[in-house]
Structure 1
Amino acid sequence: MRLFAAGYQPATAAEDQAERMQANVRIPIALLVSAYVVIASLVVTDGAEIESWAQNLLAAYAAFIAFASGLLLLIRRYPGHYPVRRGIAMLVDFSTASFSIIAGCTVMLPTYVFIVWVALGNGVRFGRQYLVIGTALAQISLAIIFLATPHWQEDPVLPATLAVTALVVPAFAYSLLRAKERAEEATRAAVQAKSRFLAQASHDLRQPVHAMHLFLESLRQTGLSHDQKDLADRLDTSLGSVTAMFKSLLDISAIDGGGTTPKPVAVPVQKLFDDLAAQCAASDDDATGAIAFMPTKHWVETDPMLMLTILQNIIENAIKHARGARVLVGCRMRNGTLSIEVHDQGPGIAADHLPQVFNEFYQANGGQFSSAGGGVGLGLAIVKRLAELLELEPEIRSTPGRGTIAALHGLRRVAATHPASSPAARRRMPTAPLEGLRILLVEDEPEILDVTARLLRGWGCEVEAQPTMPEPGSGWDLIVTDYDIACDINGLDVIARQRAACGRNIPAIILSAHDVDVSRYTGTGSSPLLLGKPLAPAELRSAISSLRLAA
């Protein structure tokens, strides 16, 4: 066992699947060759007796089948890249194929194809280095057959032809693999360059969009006329569409650039539903009242943030494009795993549109996913990419005129690690009034600092606005800080210093225009709540209310 496991290296899901495919095909091939041996022996002897050479080969293939079965179980039990395991498997493959030709001579010459197959199969599935090793072992096998087979020695042209073939074919495959790798490297470089550009530009792009949301909400608090309110509402709708598209493009860029890594933990499905219900309640969309979540006690192992993003995109898509119709979210068991489903009673989708709904910018005109709802066709593309990262299967089923079912299959159930909150408890939480709430606001951009402070004061909060690290104080109920404050200061530093000065766990929110790992927080108290820019004022108010209620 230690010999098989030597040199372990992590492997991707695709590499594990390739090794299983290579192992799965051994047993059918061995059974096929065994049947050929029996038939060939009976034909050669012109009788019912199986000759000794055939008996030796049948014994060899019986041992090979036992080896292949054990190897397959080992691969399934211990997936990963084990070079020694792959090397031993190749040696056994070549040895068995070589013994077939040595024992059966010209009768078993067709099994030469398996010598070439072993070299090509390992090379195509595991990479060029295995193709080189396989080609070398194939030449060694042919040399051993030549030395052990008098018939080959009498006709050297035959083994020479076979040796050249076993060299030329892998060489051609090597050139194809190299060209494929170069194309993949070029594609990867292009994606990474795009991702780097967006990562560098995202902060500068997010900030003005975030500021526009705040300015618009502050404008609404100035006593607008009816016509002015109507214009502000229209502007808010347009800005919401821009924000949604902007976030979607950045999300897709982060996924394609490899910047999104799942961190699975045990999580109650009910908590996911409660978080989604709270997000819907915080939305100012008048269609959100039609959504209902079925209570559940199931727990699953997944990345809660990525799962929330997936479900949020599915639910928003259903609400937006089945406007006014009832939307139901629940889960059920399917083939031993859990599926989360979103049912709506909207207009549905025609069958010819279903295969394309997960493609970028695709909209089924006239169906559920038409542009009438203001979508740009990126929500389900994000769902598909994130589902692949979590090794889940997204599915859309629909009947025109009867609604649509969006499902996410393959969630692995786990035992509960602690009692879940009461079903829909947070969903019934009222929005906490913010009157008199003392907030420390830290933001290095003057315009955003000013408009955010004005907005918070309009909600009844008492605000101290600071453009940099403030002096320690003890009178704050909440800290709201930008992450990027100065070259050597960030929002985590602000929170840690204020908490240490007053000796208590002040609730805190970090606003950031890029990905921040708040788990790196090393100060006293719990990790702060992270909210990404651009941020709608309703989302900020909902977060502040939730922290005040939880305090």
Structure 2
Amino acid sequence: MDLDKNNELDQANLRVIVACCALAYITMLGFLPGRSHAPHLPIIYYIAIFIVVSIGLRQAIAHWPGHYPWRRVLGMVHDYTGTCFGLVVGGDAALPIYAVMVWVNLGNGMRFGSRYLAIATVLALAALLVVYQITPYWQANPFMVLMLLTTSTVIPIYAHLLLERTRKASELAAAANREKSRFLAQASHDLRQPIHSIGLFTACLRDAPLGEQERRLVDSIDRSLLNVSQLFRSILDLYTLDNGRAQPRYEVFALDAFLADLLQQNSEAARWAGVTIRLRPCRHWTRADRGMLATMVQNVLSNSFKYAAHRPLLLGVRRCAEGLAIVIYDQGRGIDEAHQRLVFEEFYRVRQVRDTDVEGVGLGLSIVRRLGRLMGLEVKLRSRPGHGTAVSLQGLPRLCAQPAQVPVDRAHAAPGLLGGLRVCLVEDDHNVLRATTALLQRWGCEVDAHSSPVGLSSDCEVIVADYDLGREATGVDCIDQLRAQRGWDVPALIMTGHDTEKIQAVVHERNIAVLSKPVRPAELRAALRALREETAAPAN
């Protein structure tokens, strides 16, 4: 509907412009040597009236938008009537006005489709025959008339062929895009599961009593898996942004706790890179999409780990005008000025002579900038070769201090002290089920594991479920069932390999946390801490 409205309004606007050009042309003829305005006055008056009527028609289209075939045909008749009048009265001097007929033909066809192209062509041929019948000049030049008739037929036929090819190409492109979306969605889910389970198994190995050589091997596996996981997430982030499906979901949170959580999640990656991170404490609160902002900071940190390895890194928040800016400053080799704008382009990587190979495909900073635009943040980069690089995410709103939060029980917050937490785990992938069960048990949890939602029952304190559990039920159904059995809203977590936006829409107002696979052990541990605090809150 909007497309039809815009097309018809555009055609009406162009009609007024073309009529004004025709009026200017006829007026200029009177200034040529040996000519006067007197023979052309009727055309000038008619075109002036034509412009007034065209403006009225344009206003009607703007006021009553929509698809009205009779109005479009009326517009064609209006155009051809004015053109015929000019051709009849103007004689040979008005022949250039024939170009208006071609415009009406092609304009209606290109804007409204082949059906209107055919209607416009029939009307144009009828108009030319009428002019031929009543104009002596045309009757004296039959070959000219034949040329005009041929042109008025051949051009629309060729335009029709182009329109058909364009339509078929558009349909094929749309079908290919749908197939690509389905493939990526399925491949995304199928790839997330093994990456997720490998990460959990590796975390179990890390906690096992291993020798030095075995521990180094586990480190290598974990490091390689992290690189694959980051690349995988970058590609999915880019795909989501290209589809226009990513929309910010704003919430108010403390930046100090937000950045501390990010540092905890990246502690292993920082250790592998030999980077010591110093976080400057702050008391600022802001409003933003927590997930998008975390992805932005995460990507900048990953770049620092790659290009400023074995160097210290400073992370902090500073005031910037009326808002706040998150600043990540490393002491790496820096970026030459020639590269500083290009690093935000997709797939661009700064490579130098004898440069060591660095993992990644050059998507991190382009995703940072695109996410920043979605949230209205400005991403700035300052760098001096040999002195390091500073990336700042500017434009975060600075909010008034929020009420002090209840202190976290450090016994529960410690990595290995989730002891005694009763977890009901529902997962239909056996590898993921085994890996998650083993990891939770190493953290001290009592795990009630289920591979099917059928006959589900548990006296758990926390529910952890996959979303897609086959045809019987979803993870949300399992959570609703267990909550109904227990008689209270048991804290719950969904871990999914599907589009998290859709899952979050499903769990809206259900108080269910959502994590996107592959879930890193640190993310899962932090989520379990938060859920355990929820179980402790009613008792307090």
Shorter chain as denominator, the TM-score bin is 0.7 to 0.9
Q: TM-score, normalised by structure 1?
A: 0.73
The alignment status of 1:452 with 2:457, answered yes or no, reads: no
1:225: how far off? Answer: 3.9
Q: CA deviation at 1:221?
A: 0.8
1:262 CA drift (Å):
3.3
Which residue identity is paired with 1:538? Answer: A
Alignment correspondent of 1:6: none
**What does residue 227 of structure 2 align with?**
241
Match of 1:495 in 2: 479
Equivalent in 515, 522, 534 of residue 531 of structure 1: 515
Q: Summarize the alignment of residues 219-238 of structure 1 with structure 2, pairs less than 5 Å apart.
A: 219-238=205-224
Tell me the number of residue pairs that the alignment of Structure 1 and Structure 2 aligns: 512
- 1:160, CA displacement in angstroms? 2.8
Alpha-carbon spacing, 1:474–1:446, altered in 2? closer, same or farther (3 Å): closer
Partner SS, residue 30 of structure 2: helix
What does residue 416 of structure 1 align with? none
For residues 181-260 of structure 1, what are the structure 2 equivalents within 5 Å?
A: 181-250=167-236, 260=243
Corresponding residue number in structure 1 for 2:245 = 262
Cα distance, 1:18 vs structure 2: 6.7
CA gap 1:242/1:52 in 2 versus in 1, 3 angstroms = same
d(CA) in 2 for partners of 1:490, 1:99: 71
The alignment partner of 1:489 has SS state of coil
1:376 aligns with 2:361: yes
Which structure has the bigger radius of gyration?
A: 2
Distance 1:165 1:331 in 2: 68
Q: What is the identity percentage for the equivalent residue pairs of Structure 1 and Structure 2?
A: 30
C-alpha distance 380-522 of structure 1, shift in aligned 2 (>3 A): closer
Task: Check conservation: 2:43, 2:86, Cα contact below 8 A.
Answer: no
Deviation at 1:449, TM superposition (A): 1.7
Deviation of residue 154 (structure 1)?
Answer: 4.2
Matched, 1:173 2:159: yes
In 2: Cα distance, 1:330 partner to 1:314 partner = 20
- In structure 2, what is the Cα distance between the partners aligned to 1:137 and 1:306? 59
Choose the corresponding residue for 1:518, options 479, 503, 512: 503
Task: Report if aligned partners of 1:206, 1:533 keep a CA contact under 8 Å in 2.
Answer: yes
Corresponding residue of 1:280: 262
- Is the 1:469–1:489 contact (alpha carbons within 8 Å) kept by the matching residues of 2? yes
Report deviation, 1:457.
2.4
Contact 2:200 2:521 in 1 (8 A): yes
Contact 1:276 1:308 survives alignment (8 Å): no
The 1:477/1:400 distance shift into structure 2, 3 A limit, reads same
Give me the whole-angstrom Cα distance separating, in 2, the residues matched to 1:293 and 1:325: 17
Structure 2-normalised TM-score? 0.74
Deviation string 1:174-217 (CA, Å, 9 cap, x unpaired) is 22333334444444444444444444444333221111100111
Aligned to 2:146: 160
CA 1:247–1:155 in 2, change beyond 3 Å: closer, same or farther? same
Q: Distance in 1 between matches of 2:18 and 2:143?
A: 28
Query: Which SS does the other structure have where 1:485 is aligned?
Result: coil
Which secondary structure state, in structure 2, belongs to the residue aligned with residue 531 of structure 1?
A: strand
For residue 240 of structure 1, report the CA deviation from its aligned partner. Answer: 0.9
- Corresponding residue SS for 1:484: coil
Deviations 1:276-312 (A, max 9, x none): 747634333437756999968778xxxx699569746
Amino acid corresponding to residue 238 of structure 1 in structure 2: S
Aligned to 2:538: none
Change (3 A) 1:131 1:48: closer
CA distance in 1, matches of 2:282, 2:87: 66
Whether 1:358 aligns to 2:358 is no
Aligned partners of 1:424 and 1:52: how far apart in 2?
80
Residue type matched to 1:358 in 2? Answer: E
Matches within 5 A, 1:266-415: 267-268=249-250, 277=259, 280-281=262-263, 282-284=265-267, 285-286=269-270, 311=296, 315=300, 319=304, 323=308, 347-348=334-335, 350-351=337-338, 354=341, 357-359=344-346, 361-366=347-352, 374-379=359-364, 401=385
Stretch of structure 1 that moved more, 451-460 or 136-145: 136-145
- The residue aligned with 1:110 is 96
1:69-120 deviation per Cα after TM superposition (whole angstroms, max 9, x unaligned) = 6379669xx7x87767766655544444444434433322212212212332
Query: What letter corresponds to residue 121 of structure 1 in structure 2?
Result: G
Match of 1:4 in 2: none
Q: Label 1:208 to 1:135 Cα distance change in 2 as closer, same or farther (>3 A).
A: same
Can you give the 5+ residue segments of structure 2 that lack an aligned partner in the other structure?
536-540
Q: Give 2:345's aligned amino acid.
A: F
Distance 2:259 2:315 in 1: 12
**Residue type at the aligned position of 1:547:** L
**Using the alignment, how far apart are the partners of 2:8 and 2:328 within structure 1?**
39
Query: What amino acid does structure 2 have at the position aligned with 1:514?
Result: H
The partner residue of 1:33 within 22, 37, 51 is: 22
3-state DSSP class of the match of 1:464?
A: strand
Native 8 Å contact 2:254 2:286 kept in 1: no
SS at match of 1:476: coil
1:444, 1:467 within 8 Å by CA — same for their partners in 2?
A: yes
